[in-house]
Amino acid sequence: MTALRERKAVSPGAVPALPRHVRIQYDPVRQAFAVLSPEKVFWPNEISLEILRRCDGRLSVKEIVADLAREYNAPEEDVASDVTAFFQEWSDKLLVKL
Amino acid sequence: MSEPLLPPIGMLAELTHRCPLQCAYCSNPTELLKANREIDTETWLALFEEAADLGVLQVHLSGGEPTLRRDLEQLISGLSRRGVYTNLITAGVGIAEGRIEAFAQAGLDHLQLSFQGARPATTARIGNHQGSHEKKLETAKRARAAGLPLTINAPIHRHNIEEVPEFIELALSLDAERLEIANVQYAGWALVNRDALMPDRASVERQGEIVEAARERLTGIMNIDFVPPDYFATYPKPCMGGWARDAFMVAPDGTVLPCHAAQTITSLTFERFGPRTLTEIWTDSPAFNAFRGTDWMLEPCRTCDRREIDWGGCRCQAMAIAGDAAATDPACIRSPLHARMAAVAGSGRPAGGEAPGAEGFVYRRIGGAPQPENPAPLKPDPALTA
């Protein structure tokens, strides 16, 4: 096995960022935010978009959770489990870098 | 129309038919265009501007070999300015020093590099180009060094299906984050060479198991996209996501087409950008509307519960095999011609054996279109259609 990378597991200290091949941008034609990747275009819902916009390579998973819990006035444990599941799925698809 | 017309998301721009390789599986038409038929820089840039206005978010720059266009940097830059995601699909042979870096500078988002084999001898033989494998390895390294994300594309047929495990290792070693194991679609040159390219069922099944295991093992490390071979399928693919539904392509001379092989449907007339705008062609062209949605469908598609899953499959395959572009794609088990298609698949031979040249591969060459152009269409078997 000559893999240069390893599968990443989400941890509170991980700092998510969008990889070079993924980009979020507003599409004025459809009036929605699109996630662009090599072969696919994704249309994230409001919560996914809020998470993805915080993937700036500076905020940790823990900080993103706290921020979203504040903004949506929701218990941190609930937000943490949703956000962790989201990041694991998107990291497994190589759409988010942890 | 059974559903509202939406703007296109993706576009495949075949910038040129010129190519240093001569792959017998090429999806380009057998009547290849010479350089003097290619539209110029300004026309491509105007076309890209209108595509962006129309709603296109992704452009795949392909060919032939797109890097043979000396204006490629300018074209990438034009798309990048409009925020369009650019994917360069290249054979990676003979790209001059400094150009890959210039593509990255111009805003290229992603590079897709084809390998005809996982072994140097296979790559050289399939593309009829000595030393091409080594050049491709170099291109992959240069792309990664320039910070470009990389997909390795492996077009699969009888002469390399046994190399699938090696393709996976190759893509990992080149630091690709995506690998396409794409079984050849039998259109264009691939249809001419179908008998020489068709794998046998045992190899196809083994390939499926290998890919599935690798996908699991490589979750979060490398994405593997698998395009299974139509001839061994139960249901057809939703070709292009449905005819003129969310993507289109443009040929080197500016002809706008719903898919690669659309010009094999000779009853349709395709229009060129310039005389007509992209918007006019996308919305009003009779050729684009011919197989859009579900209204055009005949039985068994018309009442099929899968009609909005696979959109009737591939129109060009229906044309090539059934002799009727409105027929159900014979890849579908519900097509009356499915058994005939499966019989072609059943005639596939085990991997290995003779070298392609030895069994009469027709290599892809400009001006080298074979006569007769295509294998005879399979006629419906009266016993099956009754």
Task: Please report the pLDDT score of residue B1 as a whole number.
Answer: 46
Tell me which H or E stretch contains B281.
Answer: helix B278-284
Distance CA B279, CA B386 (A): 44
Q: Encode pLDDT of B321-374 as tens digits.
A: 889 999 999 999 999 999 888 888 888 887 765 555 555 678 888 887 765 444
Tell me, yes or no, if A92 comes closer than 8 A to chain B by beta carbon: yes
Which residues have CB under 8 Å from A40's CB, separation 6+?
none
Among B110, B169, B221, the residue with its CB nearest the CB of A6 is B221
The answer to whether the bond into B312 is cis (omega within 30° of 0) is: no
Distances (CA, A) of B210 to A31, B154, B161, B203, B351: 42, 14, 11, 10, 16
| Spatial CA neighbour of B309 closest among B228, B242, B240, B233 | B242
Give pLDDT, residue B343.
86
| Facing residue for A20 by CB, picked from B87, B149, B151 | B149
In the structure, what pLDDT confidence band is assigned to residue B383 with cuts at 50, 70 and 90?
very low
Smallest Cα distance from A36 to chain B, Å: 7
Given the structure tokens 């090696």, which residue do they identify?
B166
pLDDT band at B379 (very low <50, low <70, confident <90, very high): very low
How do A41-42 and A32-36 pair as beta strands?
Answer: antiparallel
Widest Cα–Cα separation across chain B: 63
Q: Does A31 touch chain B (CB under 8 A)?
A: no
- pLDDT value, residue B356: 52
Mean pLDDT calculated for residue range B137-152: 97
Q: What is the mean pLDDT of each run of 10 residues along chain A (98 residues)?
A: 78 96 95 94 95 96 96 94 96 95
Per-residue pLDDT for B24 more than 80?
Answer: yes
**Over the stretch B185-211, which tens digit does the pLDDT of each residue have?**
888 889 889 888 999 999 999 999 999
Position B353 scores a pLDDT of 56
Task: Give the pLDDT band of residue B107 (cuts 50, 70, 90).
Answer: very high
Residues B264-293 have pLDDT tens digits of 999 999 999 999 999 999 999 999 999 999
- pLDDT more than 90, % of chain B: 73
